[in-house]
Amino acid sequence: MPYFDAASAAPLHPVARQALLAALDEGWADPARLYREGRRARLLLDAARETAADAVGCRPDELSFTASGTRAVHTGIEGALAGRRRAGRHLIVSAVEHSSVLHSAEVWEAAGGTVTQVPVERSGAVTVAAYAGALRADSALAVLQSANHEVGTAQPVAEVAEACRAAGVPLLVDAAQSLGWGPVAGPWSLLAGSAHKWGGPPGVGLLVVRKGVRFAPRGPVDERESGRAAGFENLPAIVAAAASLRAVRAEAAAEAARLRELTERIRARVPGAVPDVEVVGDPERRLPGIVTFSCLYVDGETLLHELDRAGFSVSSGSSCTSSTLTPSHVLKAMGVLSEGNVRVSLPPGTAEEDVERFLDVLPGVVAQVRERIGAPTGGAGAVSSAAGAASSEVASSEVASSGAAPEAGAAPSGAGGGAGGPLVVDALGRRCPIPVIELAKVIGAVPVGGTVRVLSDDEAARLDIPAWCEMRGQEYVGEEPADRGAAYLVRRLS
């Protein structure tokens, strides 16, 4: 069964498995002890630290092993902010950072600090100018991922690091997604990574704090890992993590070229094989193994289940795959379609025939899911043609189902959004992708220049209705308050 979710966790590399088994026999003792078994364990720990430091491009005494990548991020942010408390209490992050960064920012803000979220372009990347513009005299720390975990877009870390250095502000880089592919360029100050992202065992992270960076560990500390990770080191897992990082780096150049070709194949062929698809993320500045796309009129959770039944393990940022029923903060910040979102992240060694089979299976699976929920069919031309006779009836039933009279200025549902006022579609209480589906069903009955007012209390509608308008060549007029949820106004242009 093809596993296409390496951005969440890469399969354990064979070298990691071998190193783990060997270290279980040789590395079980306390490396802080002076007897023979302890000295042997210490040699293994030192060797693993040197190997990881060489891969990162830092000194061994700058690198500490932590219990996870998330723990590395939290410790790095907390320690750097505490170490620079005299400089100020301003933290800078991008809007598409990993949740571990955003959660740390929330804690910092709740404690009285200030946080600036730098917006991103539609590709998912920050601009250097926008990031540099967020730097202030009281900025204590800046954080930027090396590459995005959901869409694969690479960030301009080296340029941002230069801007931070010029301003005297340390930059922490979350390199979890990219570290297996190569070192992070630029004069960064702190760096975090996670072993299970590059084929090491879970439960091992690394934190690098460059010499000269003011850093004050928070909470109880001990003598281990420079006081940055208390407790007995998981030495077998650390050894396996370092060994696998060295192994994947040795294969990285050739494997990156191969996976980039496969993901480029997906990027190019999915829009032609599946109607109404938006491929998101930067087409050039991206990680080699990640490609993400969103499908109109598709329930993301159902799509993932059907792909799993077809033998493919993929991930999604759709709101309908989340317990919170809110779309991915990454997709939201990018302003792209969230419904029917699929992230394909290929692990090293992915077979070409598995990608080809995925491309063969996907169109039928999407069509099946759309048919099941009554979505429009026939691609871009279907909205204006198939909706014609039935759309007024649909809109009428939707308005009637709300149990309320049309709002002041609204036309009766059969008026078609003309001079009498906007046609109203009541999608309250209905979740992604139903509000967009109902909009698509009625737009054909609206005269050119007329409007549709969609009522929805689904958070995803705030993102997906504007995205639908852009894909369909219609005008998104804006959002208005409503008694429940919000009202989204759309003008038909063609």
Residue 395 identity (one-letter amino acid): A
Residue 173, beta-bridge partner list: 144, 191
CA distance 461 to 337: 10
Q: First and final CA of the chain: distance in angstroms?
A: 44
Question: Cα separation of 339 and 102, whole Å?
Answer: 23
SS3 for 143?
Answer: strand
Torsion sign (Cα): 439, 119, 56, 88: negative
CA atoms within 13 A on the CB side of 91: 29
HEC secondary structure over 299-337: CHHHHHHHHHHCCCECECCCHHHCCCCCCCHHHHHHCCC
Q: What is the dihedral of CA 66, 68, 72, 74, to 10 degrees?
A: -130
SS3 state at 380: helix
Could you give phi then psi for residue 448, rounded to 5 degrees?
A: -55, 130
> DSSP class of residue 210?
-
Greatest alpha-carbon pair distance for the chain in Å reads: 89
In angstroms, the CA 60 to CA 296 distance is 49
3-state helix, strand, coil in the chain (%, to 5): 45, 15, 40
Q: How far apart are CA 298 and CA 373, in angstroms?
A: 8
Distance, in Å, from the CA atom of 19 to the CA atom of 34, rounded to the nearest integer, reads 24
What is the number of other CB atoms lying within 10 angstroms of the CB of residue 224? 18
Q: Where are the beta strands (DSSP E) in 185-248?
A: 190-194, 205-209
320 part of the active site: yes
Would you tell me how many other CB atoms lie within 10 Å of the CB of residue 481? 7
Q: Which of 58, 164, 295, 320 is catalytic?
A: 320
* DSSP tag of 287: -
Q: Which amino acid is at 199?
A: G
CA–CA distance, 125 with 466 (Å, rounded to integer): 20
Strand partners, 342: 293
Total number of residues shown for the chain: 494
Structure tokens at 278: 């938006």
Q: Quote the CA–CA distance of 157 and 52 in Å, as a whole number.
A: 20
Residues marked as catalytic: 320
